[in-house]
Amino acid sequence: MIVLITGGQYLGIPIGTLLASAGIGGIALALGAQDTLKNVFATINLMSDPPFRVGERITFGGYDGVVEDMSLRSTDLRLLDGHLVTIPNQNISGQSVENISRRKYIRKSSEIHIPPDTPYEKVEKAIAIIREKLAALEILDPEFPPRCFLDELGPQGFSIRFIYWYSPSDTWAF
C-alpha cells in the first residue's frame, strides 16, 4: 500500500484519491473474502478447542459419521452409509457436535408391556426376574447399576421399564 501511495504521488495523483481508492478496494476485498475468513477463524477455533479429531465418530446437524479430514476450510465426514460430506468449518464451529467416540458407556432403555388382567404378584415377579438378569451381566458399568421399575399402569396394561449402561462403549460388542 505504501509503495502504491508513494508511486501514485510521483505520478501526480492526489493522496486523498489514492487513500479513497485503497479504502474502497479494501472493503471490496474484505467482502469478497468474507466466507473464506469465516472458515479460517472457525478452523482456528476448532483447532484451539477441538470437539473431535480425525478418526472419531461424531453427529452434527443430522449427519452421523467418522471424521476423515480437517482442512483450513472444511471438514470431511464419512457417513455411516459410505457417502462423504464436506462441511464448511464455519458451520461446525457455531453448532453442537456430539462426539460418539469419546463416550464412556452406551445407555439402553427398553419397555415390556404386560396385559392388564395379569395379577400384580406376577408383575412383581417379572420385575424381579429382569433385575436378576441385568445384575448377572458383567458388561455393565459399575458406576451406573441397572434400573428396573413399573413405569405405567394404563388401559393397555402394565409397562415395565428397564435401563442399563454398557461399558466399554464398543457399539459392535454391545
Residue 25 identity? G
Per-residue DSSP letter, 56: -
Neighbours of 2 (CB within 10 A): 6
Per-residue DSSP letter, 44: H
Give the DSSP H or E segment for 48. Answer: helix 34-48
- 27-37 pLDDT, tens digit each: 766 666 677 77
How does strand 98-99 pair with strand 57-60? antiparallel
- 99-145 pLDDT, tens digit each: 998 888 888 899 999 998 999 899 999 999 999 988 887 777 778 88
The side-by-side arrangement of strands in the sheet containing 157-166 is 106-114, 157-166, 147-154
- 52-105 pLDDT, tens digit each: 899 999 998 889 999 999 888 889 999 999 999 999 888 888 788 899 988 888
**pTM passes above 0.75:** no
What are the Cα distances from residue 139, in Å, to 142, 146, 170, 172?
A: 9, 11, 11, 13
